[in-house]
Amino acid sequence: MLQMRPNCECCDRDLSPNGGDARICSFECTFCADCAGERFEGRCPNCGGDLVVRPPRPATLLAKFPGSTERVRKAH
């Protein structure tokens, strides 16, 4: 199950677990659409993998399976 991290690890923008603004790589490094596209050109700065749209978690399942509250921030 995806962690659904709550923020962009570059700019610290809040990301909803059921929104479409998050981009992730296969290691779940998480970025907002702006940083992923404009700053990193679709490549994860940590591993070099593709950044793709993170699938949203259905609102009906968020109560049972909430997104992570642990914020990850790295200097990029």
Q: What is the pTM of this model?
A: 0.91
pLDDT digits 0-9 by tens, 5-61: 999 999 999 999 998 999 999 999 999 999 999 999 999 999 999 999 999 999 899
| Contact indicator for 4, 23 with CB cutoff of 8 Å | no
Structure tokens given for 27: 């290691």
8: left (phi over 0), alpha (psi -120 to 50) or beta: beta
| The pLDDT of residue 75 | 82
Could you give the C-alpha distances from 1 to 45, 47, 67, 76, in angstroms and in order?
23, 20, 10, 26
Predicted confidence (pLDDT) at residue 1 exceeds the cutoff of 90 = no
| The pLDDT of residue 76 | 79
Domain ranges of the chain: 1-55
Confidence of residue 66 (pLDDT cuts 50, 70, 90): very high
| Contact indicator for 5, 70 with CB cutoff of 8 Å | yes
